[in-house]
Amino acid sequence: MFKEIGAQLRPVLVSMLVLTLLTGFIYPALVTAIAQVFFAKQANGSLILEQGKPVGSELIGQPFSDPAHFWSRPSGTSPAPYKADASCGSNQAPSNPDFKTAVGDRITALQDANKHEDDGTPVPVDLVTASGSGLDPHISPAAAHYQEVRIVRETGIPFEKIRALIAEHTEGRQLSFLGEPSVNVLKLNLALDKLRATQK
């Protein structure tokens, strides 16, 4: 009887051991090694380094409130914005009164800060609505240009240089046809800080 049980258990245990080694150790180690060799930057979080120190990731946005910096799009994560382990949207429909109020307040704040309230310039939608992930590090070129007035006023840098900086940091469509052109806000602000340093 015990011999029969042992004969039945042996292939089960061997299979479990082999699959554990393959899927639990060998495969993860192989994938990790390939990623570190061929895609080290992406595998390590697509970090942005300044003087050898990480200041953020290309994939996760950061909140900016300093009027001398470009502002990111809103984040829907809680309890803190751009919380990577709490990726989500607001889950509020456009018909939700709270959503309408929040968007209205953001439009007013942006118009006041950027002095566009009288010239009819519309606020780009990505500056007043969160992305589905709540982590989007990019804004549209239109959203960056919308903030030019404030950046010029706060930094004293001429319009031409600010526009050139935005153009330099505008990323095209993936494979030339996927998505829309975008601007990484952290990269743009880091470049802006360097430009400001040269103006002093």
Looking at the structure of the chain, the number of domains it has is 2
My answer on whether 91 and 169 are in the same domain is yes
My answer on whether 60 and 74 are in the same domain is yes
Distance (Å, rounded) from C-alpha 184 to C-alpha 62?
10
Higher-pLDDT residue of 169, 7: 169
What is the extent of the structural domain holding 10?
A: 1-41
pLDDT digits (tens, 9 = 90+) for 110-127: 998 888 655 678 899 999
Q: What is the pLDDT of residue 114?
A: 87
Among 10-14, 89-93, 125-129, the minimum mean pLDDT is found in: 89-93
Q: What is the pTM of this model?
A: 0.81
My answer on whether 156 and 66 are in the same domain is yes
My answer on whether 25 and 86 are in the same domain is no
My answer on whether 121 and 71 are in the same domain is yes
* Mean of pLDDT values over 63-82: 90
My answer on whether 22 and 117 are in the same domain is no
List the one residue out of 74, 46, 90, 181 whose CA is nearest residue 136: 74
The token duo for 22 is: 């393959």
| C-alpha triplet 136, 89, 46: angle, nearest 5° | 25
Q: What is the pLDDT of residue 77?
A: 84
Q: What is the pLDDT of residue 118?
A: 59
CB-based contacts of 200, cutoff 8 Å, min separation 6: none
Q: What is the pLDDT of residue 200?
A: 66
The number of beta carbons lying within 10 Å of the beta carbon of residue 101 is 10
My answer on whether 80 and 98 are in the same domain is yes
Q: How far apart are the first and last CA of the chain?
A: 89
My answer on whether 17 and 94 are in the same domain is no
Higher-pLDDT residue of 14, 182: 182
Q: With a cut of 80, say whether residue 7 has pLDDT above it.
A: no
* Mean of pLDDT values over 164-169: 96
My answer on whether 36 and 51 are in the same domain is no
My answer on whether 123 and 153 are in the same domain is yes
Q: What is the pLDDT of residue 21?
A: 93
The SS3 call for residue 77 is: coil
My answer on whether 37 and 61 are in the same domain is no
My answer on whether 18 and 34 are in the same domain is yes
